[in-house]
Structure 1
Amino acid sequence: METDTKSEKTVTSRGISSVLRYDLPASLVVFLVAVPLCLGISVASEAPPAAGLIAGVVGGVVAGFLGGSAVQVSGPAAGLALVVADLVIRYGWRATCMITLMAGALQLLLGVFRVARAALAVSPAVVHGMLAGVGVVIALSQLHVILGGSPQSSAVENIVELPRQIADLHGYAVFAGLLTIAMLVAWGRLPQRLRLVPAPLAALAVTAVTAWGLDWDVTRIDLSVGLGEWSAPVLPQGDWHGIATAVILVALLAGVESLLCSVAVDKLHDGRRADLDRELTAQGAANMVSGALGGLPVAGVIVRSTANARAGARSRWSAVLHGVWILLFALGLGWTVTFIPLEALAALLVFIGTQMVNIGHVRNLRGHGEVPVYFVTLGGVVVLGLAEGVLLGLALAALLALRRLTRVTVHAERESDGRWHVAIGGSLTFLGVPRLTAELSAIPPRAAVDLDLNIDFMDNAAFEALHAWRQNHERGGGTVDIDEVHDEWYAMAASGARTLPAKSPPAAPDHWWLPWSHRRRRRPAPAGALIPVRHQHSGGGPAVPDLLAGAREFHRRTAPLVRPVLHGMARKQEPSHLFITCADSRIVPNLITASGPGDLFTVRNIGNLVPRRGAAPPDHSVTAAIEYATEVLGVRTITVCGHSGCGAMAALLDGGGRTPGLPELSRWLRHGDLSLARFVSAGDEPAGDGPLDRLCRINVLQQLENLRTHPGVDRLVRAGRLELVGLYFDIAAARVHVLDHSPVPAAPTAPA
């Protein structure tokens, strides 16, 4: 068996070409963005500067090569800086590396068991609030470095200490920080063609050259512990509960941030979607390697990933190559880092920290009612700490979700005919019982009540409260008619049947399309349930007329939904179709065409007939409707819709349209003579199609030809501005058929 090596070489050649054309340039852009961030995050994490470079290399090469996202870039993340700084203070740097290694092993295990998608259950409001809180804490701590001081142990202490720090004079350190921030702000305002170098690199370079040229007295970065001076991680000493908590915290925070970053980055490109389980496994492997080599924890980071996607990256090779460039920089040009003032890196971190408080996230969350979660998480992180703030945010998110899931609306009002209408919506649980009983108690005794249950769940406490009120109200001489839109929670509970353990899927919001007779009680009342038939007066009087009851139901249920639509078209109608159909009560044009208000300009008559121009007896109503629809409304389609078992066609078959005792109907049916003649000339009907239904179909085609006898219609059809369509509705099968008809020239007018 031969192998098509030519095709394999073609694929390989295309892959290399794509890497050279797209991924290589993108990797250089990301490399220039990553180096300053790696160094800055190292400083914020109280770790050796080389640790950030190691994490950048490992995140690029290992996570990039093994990852499940096409363009995501991994490396040291600002969101983990607080956790790492606390671990370094508590356990020491080498023990922190071991915690990173163990966190990576936990991530690897979670990825193998394919639980990555469960991380997406964390509310984005909590994640964004956490990152914003971390940004505030980083900015406050690094602001002290710019001012020549040292960060305090907490954000609150940094705030308290800040006025005294500002009052002191710090000389050139402040100049270096302010110059860096000014460059970062100004760089983003330059035209795109001038921003060839990323803003962080440009700001650090300008500040370093200025400080060196003017001989400023600033603090320099110490890179004495370089990539070549490796020491093995050691096991942390102390309470194993705290160590285990630290491992889990690093693993979860880094994992969640990476997975959410993968989902976000998928929106920035059109390539393959991210494999989240593979991405989590890759992050675990990268953290194990980074911890073993003395690097910071690794996570997918949105800034570098966004830069990668916008630079045109197509595959994971961009992330891998950016890691290679960081390695070459650290080995060959690492000495240049010593020229960067520490105050410049602190200013970069202040700028990054303020950007982590993204107002756009707040605007997005406002429409979903999750802004409190965002600010509670942010405040908790700043005041209490990272873990405490995240737990507070998660707890509030859970409470708000529980509140939304158990929200219930109860509205009772007296209608003009004296009946009371009660509408209950949402999830009817014990939490809604006080409101339910308060509303129901306001209904006077002996009142007739229509109660609509538009609920998706009802627990036992709510059922007992509702059932007890109903029994008491009916014993006092009133009536209660319960109509359930969703699954019949009340009826099932009243009959003793077992209700579903979880929320049921919602049914159609209403049954407006059912005949009135079917919309009363659609199934027998369960034994023991007191469910009277809808539309009964109190005291057992005559039934309310169906038409008036239907109008009342429209006002109650449908009118609030269609009112905004009808309000917009109240002054003008713009239908696109003239719909001519039979007056048969079983034909509902809007139902069989799934159309709404303003779509169809409808003409209905017996037999869906269109009198030919000049036909006798004349019928100006149909002609006027055609003229108005085509010349004034500008409809694009005229549809003639017939149906099975048409009584008009049956009359034509039985006696040529003669209907004794109905003279006007007999004269009207003369307009169907051509349909009958066409039916007779067509000969035997096809097998399985009865003569009546065949005539019903032929009649539709004949009416389409009759339309062409009207000059205005014929002119528009010939110009391609109007289309004629024939439909046939099979009532028993509830199917709409489009009838095939070939274009025909305009037929001659009928003799007068």
Structure 2
Amino acid sequence: MTESGYTNTKSGWRSVLRHDVPASLVVFLVAVPLSLGISVASGAPIAAGLVAAVVGGIVAGAMGGSVIQVSGPAAGLSLVVADLVQTYGWRATCMITLLAGLLQLLLGLVKVARAALAVSPAVVHGMLAGVGVTIALSQLHIVLGGQPQKSAVENLLELPSQIVNNHGHAVLVGVITIAVLLVWNRLPRLRAVPAPLAALLIGAAPAAALGWDVTRVDLTGGFSSLEGPVFPSGDWHAIMSSVLLVALLAAVESLLTCVASDRMHSGPRADLDRELTAQGAANLISGALGGLPVSGVVVRTTANARAGARSRWSTVLHGMWVLIFTLAFGWAITLIPMEALAALLVFIGIQMVNVGHVRNLRGHGEMPVYFVTMGGVVLVGLAEGVLVGLGLAALLSLRRLTWLSVQVRPDGDRWRLVVTGSLTFLGVPRLTEALRAIPAGAAVELDLHVDFMDNAAFEALHHWRLEHERAGGTIDIDELHDEWYSAAVRGTRMFPAKSPFRHDRWWLPWAYRRPGPRPGEILPMPEPAPAVVSPGNGGEAVPDLLKGAQEFQRRTAPLVRPLLTRLARGQAPSHLFITCADSRIVPNIITASGPGDLFTLRNIGNLVPRHRVAPHDDSVMASIEYAVGVLGVRKITVCGHSGCGAMAALLGEIPPAPAEFDTGFPALRGWLRHGRHTLARFVATESTEDDAGPLDRLCRLNVIQQLDNVRSHPRLDALVRSGTLELSGMYFDIGAASVHVLREEGFTPVPTLRTG
């Protein structure tokens, strides 16, 4: 298949015949009844919907940016068209469609299609739901044998009287049609025939056979009955507004359908600018020929994808089938009762209120936009409802962008004030209320976790700070994000846009976060602190550990809590990571991994005892068995590092024992016996020119040896041989902060990914 969606090889034509031709027939069978129904709902000639289906299929299908999207008359535009027909007449409406297509064509050529995606989907779905309710209410009157009223409210008020009156054959046709639509797709053997087509045929059959008194579809003259467009008369401001409304609504619906179509197939991705240009050309031609406005349609696109379409030939062919059918078998359309088409429209209108969209919007807090838009369309009008929905969506977005949390609480002998979000003039009342709750002269810890601060907020906060310090209070300000407050105090201009949150200090050692030395300076050895909580040290934990836990609770816990809540039910790590217990090795830093990624096994020297070797040790194999057998881990990585103390001990560089260990580290010496195979490999391996020294070479060889030790266990070796388990080696050069990976030729540095 070529990039454009056409095929130009023998195998490609086979694919068209095998996949696209059958799919085009399915879409054709769906498109004909829907096009007829939308013509009725729009108040347009019946043939106008068929013209739009033909032009949408052939023109938009051949030129469009999506290979499977199907275009044609859309129910979402029917209210606009019906209003235009009542205001200007049908031929003038065709000219508005033509001008709308010209505008779409120009917008596509200047490549602004992606701007349409900025419209909130809640507004679009709410608009379609409102249109669906309006269509269903109006067409229900036709099903009942009456006439629709001027508005949805009037249709709703008149509905009870329509229901209680006896309407005879019209009701029977409508009930049969709706019943077929409800049950057809639940019968697997009948799904080959689209439900709309089956419903119209079955609804029309008894009416024709028994001579029921129903209204027939009028297709007198077919395509030849349509007349060309004429310029509308009236206020040109209103006319241009109508052109803009048709162009934008059709464009947004088409582009959103185009984006959705990408999820339905694995072929080339859609080109939105090309799609908008194609929609413009299709509307220009459809308006010139007397057809309805054209847009991408979800129902037909979904049917096309489910039928197995592979290229744009399916869309083009479906338009050709509609054309051939109308020219050759147009007489058959006149047998369809209008009540059956009305019943089809009632069913379509109800389906446009998509419960699935409501569920999706609920999780994002956009349900008010959906229901307000839908209500506005039903009660006031389509354009007004959309504008109200857009306004509400903008207000809710502004509210989210300016969200602010202010928490103040006593913390021992101090007060803690935490400000999170965007600190603008809108949040000043809440901020000042919290500041008034702090007693004069109190010691305050102020955490500013803000991504923006305007001048009004700075003035309020700074004035309070000066007054509080003047009254004898103290304020310790910690800006966890950008230094908006500090920059304003210094008179430094900050970039006006909101800045992304940064967390760039969590990985520093405790000693680097104390007042005094900074990274890059020579650090003094920290003063020893109590190691355990006991009555002898006053019941206090290690100060650094406790402060670190407090910092985690304040800064990190709110960020990781949603993730850890999901992980609390169980773990599914991808790697078993075996590394040294050395305090300088932090696996999650050197692998940029997070909670739930690594099942970590740490010991002195990252050693793995060989199978049935003395001294016996079950702890390492217990971890490996649990990772592989219970957690289903399929990758084991052994990671060594430079300057390993265990390897130094193997070379005879172990330090002398303190007095309390005057027996000479018996447990440690026993454990290091598992490294004798590493030492043997070291003795048997010749040094190379790039060796950094004996210790560095032993540390690297130790990784290779431990991978061999893993395979010394028969069950693990069998998994490796079968390809179920994968082993890898890594080496971390502490001084260079460089990660090396084991390959056939040895350890090679992991390349740095560069962007731009």
The TM-score with structure 2 as length reference comes to 0.84
Q: CA contact under 8 A between 1:50 and 1:225: conserved in structure 2? A: no
Q: CA contact under 8 A between 1:701 and 1:741: conserved in structure 2? A: no
* Alignment CA distance shift 1:592-1:420 (3 Å): farther
In structure 2, distance between residues paired with 1:568 and 1:250: 45
**1:653 positional shift:** 6.7
1:477 aligns with 2:472: yes
Q: More deviation in 724-733 or 81-90?
A: 724-733
Q: CA contact under 8 A between 2:58 and 2:320: conserved in structure 1? A: yes
Q: CA contact under 8 A between 2:611 and 2:713: conserved in structure 1? A: no
* Pair member with larger Rg: 1
1:442 aligns with 2:440: no
In structure 2, distance between residues paired with 1:103 and 1:173: 37
1:352 aligns with 2:351: no
Superposed, 1:435-514 pairs within 5 Å as 435-508=430-503, 511-514=505-508
- Consecutive unaligned residues of structure 2, counting only runs of 5 or more, are 1-5, 519-541, 747-756
Name the counterpart of 1:550. 548
Name the counterpart of 1:307. 303
In structure 2, distance between residues paired with 1:481 and 1:124: 45
Q: Which of residues 493, 511, 514 in structure 2 aligns to 1:517?
A: 511
Name the counterpart of 2:274. 278
Name the counterpart of 1:535. none
In structure 1, distance between residues paired with 2:295 and 2:322: 16
Q: CA contact under 8 A between 2:608 and 2:620: conserved in structure 1? A: no
Instruction: Describe the SS at the equivalent of 2:497.
Output: coil
In structure 2, distance between residues paired with 1:63 and 1:420: 66
Q: More deviation in 222-231 or 248-257?
A: 222-231
Name the counterpart of 1:22. 19
**1:423 positional shift:** 2.7
**1:427 positional shift:** 1.7
In structure 2, distance between residues paired with 1:578 and 1:282: 54
Instruction: Describe the SS at the equivalent of 1:729.
Output: strand
1:626 aligns with 2:626: no
Q: CA contact under 8 A between 1:581 and 1:640: conserved in structure 2? A: no
**1:63 positional shift:** 1.4
Name the counterpart of 2:238. 242
Name the counterpart of 1:728. 731
1:45 aligns with 2:39: no
Q: CA contact under 8 A between 1:63 and 1:283: conserved in structure 2? A: yes
In structure 2, distance between residues paired with 1:101 and 1:75: 15
In structure 2, distance between residues paired with 1:421 and 1:359: 45
Instruction: Describe the SS at the equivalent of 1:445.
Output: coil
In structure 1, distance between residues paired with 2:513 and 2:93: 69
Question: Amino acid of the residue matched to residue 445 of structure 1?
Answer: A
Name the counterpart of 1:258. 254
In structure 1, distance between residues paired with 2:29 and 2:434: 65
- Consecutive unaligned residues of structure 1, counting only runs of 5 or more, are 1-8, 525-543, 744-752
CA RMSD of aligned residues (A): 3.6
Question: Alpha-carbon deviations, 1:34-80, whole Å to 9, x = none?
Answer: 11111111111111111111111111111112211111111111111
Q: More deviation in 587-596 or 304-313?
A: 587-596
Taking every aligned residue pair, what percent have the same amino acid on both sides? 64
Question: Alpha-carbon deviations, 1:329-378, whole Å to 9, x = none?
Answer: 22221122222111111111111111111111111110111111111010
Name the counterpart of 2:521. none
* Alignment CA distance shift 1:598-1:75 (3 Å): closer
Superposed, 1:158-557 pairs within 5 Å as 158-189=155-186, 191-415=187-411, 417-508=412-503, 511-520=505-514, 545-557=543-555
Name the counterpart of 1:128. 125
Question: Amino acid of the residue matched to residue 139 of structure 2?
Answer: Q
Question: Amino acid of the residue matched to residue 500 of structure 2?
Answer: P
Superposed, 1:700-739 pairs within 5 Å as 714=713, 720=719, 727-738=730-741
**1:739 positional shift:** 5.4
How many correspondences in the alignment?
703
Question: Alpha-carbon deviations, 1:192-242, whole Å to 9, x = none?
Answer: 222332222222122222112111111122222531234321110000111
Q: Which of residues 74, 87, 108 in structure 2 aligns to 1:111?
A: 108
Question: Alpha-carbon deviations, 1:603-655, whole Å to 9, x = none?
Answer: 444x667899999xx999xx464365457777878876543345676687786
Name the counterpart of 1:644. 642
In structure 2, distance between residues paired with 1:222 and 1:736: 77
In structure 2, distance between residues paired with 1:290 and 1:412: 64
In structure 2, distance between residues paired with 1:660 and 1:38: 92
In structure 1, distance between residues paired with 2:27 and 2:571: 56
Q: CA contact under 8 A between 1:39 and 1:345: conserved in structure 2? A: yes
Question: Amino acid of the residue matched to residue 352 of structure 2?
Answer: M
Q: CA contact under 8 A between 2:204 and 2:335: conserved in structure 1? A: yes
Q: CA contact under 8 A between 1:429 and 1:461: conserved in structure 2? A: yes
Q: Which of residues 149, 154, 166 in structure 1 aligns to 2:151?
A: 154
In structure 1, distance between residues paired with 2:516 and 2:82: 67
Question: Alpha-carbon deviations, 1:127-175, whole Å to 9, x = none?
Answer: 1111111111111111111222221111111112222222332222222
In structure 1, distance between residues paired with 2:377 and 2:569: 56
In structure 2, distance between residues paired with 1:213 and 1:36: 21
* Alignment CA distance shift 1:82-1:690 (3 Å): same
**1:598 positional shift:** 9.3
* Alignment CA distance shift 1:507-1:574 (3 Å): closer
